[in-house]
Structure 1
Amino acid sequence: MRTLLVWCPDWPVLAVDIVEGIPASGRVAVVHANRVIACSEAARAEGVRRGLRKREAQSRCPRLTVVEHDPDRDARAFEPVVAAVEEMAVGVEVIRPGSCALAARGPARYFGGEERAAEQIVERIAEACAVESQAGVADGVFAAGLAARAGQIVPPGGTPEFLAGQPVETLDRPQLTDLLRRLGVRTLGDFAALPAADVLSRFGFDASLAHRLAAGRDHRGLAVRRPPPDLDVAETYDEPLDRVDVAAFAARSLAERLHATLAGHGLACTRVAIEAVTADGQELHRVWRHDGLLTAVAIADRVRWQLDGWISGRRDRPVSGIMRLRLIPEGVLAHAGLQPGLWGETGEERERAHRALNRVQGILGPEAVLTAVLGGGRSPGDQVRFAPWGDERTPARPAPPPWPGRLPAPAPAAVLPAPLPISVYDATGAPVSVSARLEVSAPPARIVIGSTRRARTVEVTGWSGPWPVEERWWAMEEASRRARFQIGLPHGWAMLLSLSGGVWVIEAVYD
């Protein structure tokens, strides 16, 4: 489908200007997780770029104004832009704050061509919101987004050729693009040339969606069907929603209901329409779309952003509170991987389970019920910590760092609470050792588990390693250096061993 996409460059910076009054013409950078995610033109002129660490950006531009990223601020500031586009055409779908799309056919027929329609919409945004924007037209949302960044109208049928020369980084999937680069796949054309079945089996479902995008085929056309009427969820409120915090609570509850309804039918959606009716009868409507599958949290975020934009917006703000809210799933996909949660399919069942666990804690103490929290680390035991039920699920170590030396997949089936000392011998019966240069004295032939009286000897069927792990080398008292091995055992078993200070231990077991 021919799609017209409107893109506002550096939107997080513009949102800071609109909401907080920090001029976007100055040296401004928006950071998240200590890295720059957007910067102004003046900051780029002094060497600031996306992805830089905060300290490096400040060293390049000493007078840089650094602002923390706020998705709510971005969405709230973007609402007037969407309203301005809706004055020119109907059916606007918000992709993310700073970008929205609509079918190009209607505006093109009304204004006398796609190029003329794009010009009119860009001019209207500039007049109504004093915001610079660019528009692009292509076959599909993904290609239209790239065309908008180039200010280009891709002719009908020319989308595959237009995408072929684009770098794979435009897919905005860092892990996939890094792997593709290492495999020699550098452009979308190279990626699209790979067999679709091989991409799905080798890289997974999300990469298969990216492969369709690279070939110029919008993945939303895959298994899409019209949702039955009973998938819609709605709520009528006794008191009008006229405060952002109250609206946010209502958004979360309704989003969880929608996601549970979809999951119960083995479905997921890529777009959600938000409809609201105010106390004086005013009807509000907006569609949000997402490149992947919308989770309960993602739906709740978008509903909360939209309600915040309607309630706190500076333009077209409703004169009364919201009395009725309705969510309509669109772009529904049959997703066989979705299953009911551990506590059942309904919110009532989950609430009953939560009350039971809280009751156990009240009798036996908070530490009686624990949940695992996955975080960062190089060893399996470092990546998981147990938090009392109901406490904040904060990982012991942040997950985003690359963690050089981290154990590769697949993960072990069981991690021992405390490493178990063992002995490792070669074929002659001599203990196996590893030199400072990581040279193994001899191939491991058998291991001995347990004390002298109850020792158990197991033959080694295969082995790999050593892989060095050296942590906190800058702190002598906390420094740790060890070498890890994976060994195969009879009947398909395997173990993760490590050697440190001449002592062998079992860290984890594979089955």
Structure 2
Amino acid sequence: MSAPRLLVVWCPDWPVVAAGQATGVPVHIPAAVLSANRVLACSAQARGNGIRRGMRRRQAQGRCPELVVFDDDPARDAALFEPVAAAVEELAVGVEVIRSGVVAVPARGSARYFGGERDLAERLIDQLASSTGVECQIGIADGLFAALLAAHRSVVVAEGASAEFLAPLSVSELDQPGIAGQGCAELIDLLNRLGLSTLGEFAEIPEREVAARFGTEGVRAHRLANATQERPLDRRRPPPDLSITQHLDPPVERVDAAAFVARGLAERLHAGLASRGFACTRLNITASTEHGEQFSRMWRCAEPLTPAGIADRVRWQLDGWLRIGKGDRPSSGIQTLHLEPAEVVLGSELQLGLWHGAEQAAAAERAGRALVRVQGLLGEQSAGTPVVQGGRGPTERVRLVPWGTERSVRDDPELPWPGRLPSPSPATVLVTPEPAVLRDTGGAEIELTARGELSAAPHVVRSGWVTGLVSDWAGPWLVDQRWWAPERAALLARVQVVLTEEETGTQTALLLLRAEHDSPQWMVEGVYD
């Protein structure tokens, strides 16, 4: 099936641009957005200093000490991108948000109206520059994948020539969030090891052989490389009764309140689709206000949307509508929310795990609804799930995220993390460490030497938590924090001690922490079982 003619608007480095807009950081300052302690996106100024995507945080700050670092925040990126999508929609109909920073529109109708594809592209660039101040690049080609790569190069590919345009490009271009699947990185690595380094070489392999060797993910990537239709051929238009509408009383004016509504709607929409054997790949979100204003936006996803994925997109879109400039912002609260699955695929695209049958899925759904109910009563932060991430101390290695939000990690746990405390971790970690005194056999307080060693062997620990004689100990494990900024640098030392309590004679294992600053002191950070 031939791919449709599409125009893609791409805003380079959008996560960095959005973070800079949200915090007021000037565009001329080098900046980067990090996810799992690696660079997700960086500004042109940062690239000029040698910063590259995928680089580790310490390496990036070593190359550019003045680098401003932001955390990855998809909700922020989506909310601030709404004015850009709205500006595109003023000139072209059928806008679809692929991801924050990228929108696609059908090219044929708008191009005819404005006198040609190049004229349309020029009008859109001027429109975005004048109304939003955002720089963008535009590409036009057959199919979404080819159009996006054309936008990266600011070219208009002649109709029917998209396959030739893609042929010399590297297979690494297949890794496009919002278009390619989750397993694309592994496929790219395998193709490179097999000697298939360009899209043209991969496209020359018959699709039947690709399916036998690489599976469904390989077939999807093969269609992208051939500039054919990316979506499955059995695409279906869902029945109209699967759309759902929620009337809000009282009307919602805050994003946090709308987020709870979004989760309930997402569960209902997904359940209705699943009962018919469908899963949504394009979602139309419509909101109406008390004054009759109506806002609508289409979201496209590379893979079928889960309930959490639907809820995220609804929340991001509501955040965008409620944050845009005063002239375009709703003049009253949102009174009605309408979700329409504009495109679906067979529900087999969302399969249960090997060991999770229908009963386990139903139980997980009930538990999820209960947690959402708790959040509705006590607030979003009242129900959280732990996420293991990178770090050196016990408080750094576990992060609580609110139930229903993405369980992402800020720091990669697979990194070396010099000075990391070895297993096992303390069973109890104090929210506020308690002061302690660590003394040697002579009664002198133990300190850290210039070489980062203990000044003497520990003999006794006195604290409000427990007091006793030291029967065994290990450490210290040193962490040199913010060594690149002397005014904020700190040397941390952790020591494990086993005590025999004076009053009961029982043994207790403690984790002690000492920070070398103006008034260093030992603290009880954790307790072992």
**C-alpha contact (below 8 Å) 1:264/1:339 kept by paired residues:** no
Structure 2 CA distance, aligned partners of 1:144 and 1:339?
A: 30
2:354 is the counterpart of 1:351? no
Alignment equivalent of 1:286, drawn from 297, 306, 316 = 297
Alignment equivalent of 2:215, drawn from 179, 182, 204 = 204
Alignment equivalent of 1:308, drawn from 319, 322, 326 = 319
Q: CA deviation at 1:267?
A: 1.5
Tell me the percent identity.
50
2:192 is the counterpart of 1:189? no
Alignment equivalent of 1:219, drawn from 221, 230, 241 = 230
Tell me which residue corresponds to 1:106. Answer: 109
> What pairs up with 1:108-257 in 2 under 5 angstroms?
108-172=111-175, 173-220=184-231, 222-257=233-268
Query: Given the superposition, is the C-alpha separation of residues 336 and 393 from structure 1 closer, same or farther in structure 2, using an over 3 Å criterion?
Result: closer
Amino acid of the residue matched to residue 165 of structure 2?
F
Structure 2 CA distance, aligned partners of 1:336 and 1:288?
A: 21
Structure 2 CA distance, aligned partners of 1:223 and 1:262?
A: 16
Q: CA deviation at 1:399?
A: 8.4
Tell me which residue corresponds to 1:326. Answer: 338
Amino acid of the residue matched to residue 333 of structure 1?
V
For 1:219, what is the secondary structure of its paired residue? coil
TM-score normalized by the length of structure 2 = 0.66
Amino acid of the residue matched to residue 188 of structure 1?
L
For 1:26, what is the secondary structure of its paired residue? coil
2:289 is the counterpart of 1:274? no
**C-alpha contact (below 8 Å) 2:232/2:345 kept by paired residues:** no
Q: CA deviation at 1:206?
A: 2.4
For 1:291, what is the secondary structure of its paired residue? coil
Tell me which residue corresponds to 1:462. Answer: none
Structure 2 CA distance, aligned partners of 1:394 and 1:349?
A: 16
Q: CA deviation at 1:339?
A: 5.7
Q: Deviations for 1:254-306, whole angstroms, at most 9, x for unmatched residues?
A: 11211222222222222100011111111110001112222222111111100
Tell which deviates more after alignment, 225-234 or 160-169: 225-234
Query: Given the superposition, is the C-alpha separation of residues 299 and 181 from structure 1 closer, same or farther in structure 2, using an over 3 Å criterion?
Result: same
Alignment equivalent of 1:317, drawn from 329, 332, 347 = 329
* More relative contact order, 1 or 2 (CA 8 Å, 6+ apart): 2
**C-alpha contact (below 8 Å) 1:16/1:24 kept by paired residues:** no
Q: Deviations for 1:96-126, whole angstroms, at most 9, x for unmatched residues?
A: 1111010001210111000100110111000
Tell me which residue corresponds to 1:49. Answer: 52
> What pairs up with 1:489-500 in 2 under 5 angstroms?
none
Structure 1 CA distance, aligned partners of 2:350 and 2:194?
A: 31
Q: CA deviation at 1:337?
A: 4.8
Alignment equivalent of 1:18, drawn from 21, 24, 46 = 21
Structure 1 CA distance, aligned partners of 2:344 and 2:413?
A: 31
Amino acid of the residue matched to residue 166 of structure 2?
L
How many residue pairs align between the two structures?
381
Structure 1 CA distance, aligned partners of 2:134 and 2:8?
A: 15
**C-alpha contact (below 8 Å) 1:5/1:99 kept by paired residues:** yes
Tell me which residue corresponds to 1:359. Answer: none
Structure 2 CA distance, aligned partners of 1:347 and 1:49?
A: 44
**C-alpha contact (below 8 Å) 1:29/1:39 kept by paired residues:** yes
Query: Given the superposition, is the C-alpha separation of residues 254 and 62 from structure 1 closer, same or farther in structure 2, using an over 3 Å criterion?
Result: same
For 2:348, what is the secondary structure of its paired residue? coil
Amino acid of the residue matched to residue 67 of structure 1?
F
Tell which deviates more after alignment, 16-25 or 94-103: 16-25
Amino acid of the residue matched to residue 184 of structure 1?
G
Query: Given the superposition, is the C-alpha separation of residues 350 and 35 from structure 1 closer, same or farther in structure 2, using an over 3 Å criterion?
Result: closer
TM-score normalized by the length of structure 1 = 0.68
Structure 1 CA distance, aligned partners of 2:99 and 2:5?
A: 19
Q: Deviations for 1:11-38, whole angstroms, at most 9, x for unmatched residues?
A: 1111022221111221111111100111
2:310 is the counterpart of 1:299? yes
Q: CA deviation at 1:393?
A: 12
Q: Deviations for 1:327-364, whole angstroms, at most 9, x for unmatched residues?
A: 11122112435468855699899438987xxxxxxxxx
**C-alpha contact (below 8 Å) 2:143/2:230 kept by paired residues:** no
Structure 1 CA distance, aligned partners of 2:197 and 2:28?
A: 35
**C-alpha contact (below 8 Å) 2:18/2:80 kept by paired residues:** yes
**Alignment RMSD, CA only?**
3.4
Structure 2 CA distance, aligned partners of 1:140 and 1:392?
A: 32
Amino acid of the residue matched to residue 319 of structure 1?
S
Question: What residue ranges of structure 1 are gaps of 5+ in the alignment?
Answer: 356-371, 377-389, 404-473, 476-511
Query: Given the superposition, is the C-alpha separation of residues 12 and 374 from structure 1 closer, same or farther in structure 2, using an over 3 Å criterion?
Result: closer
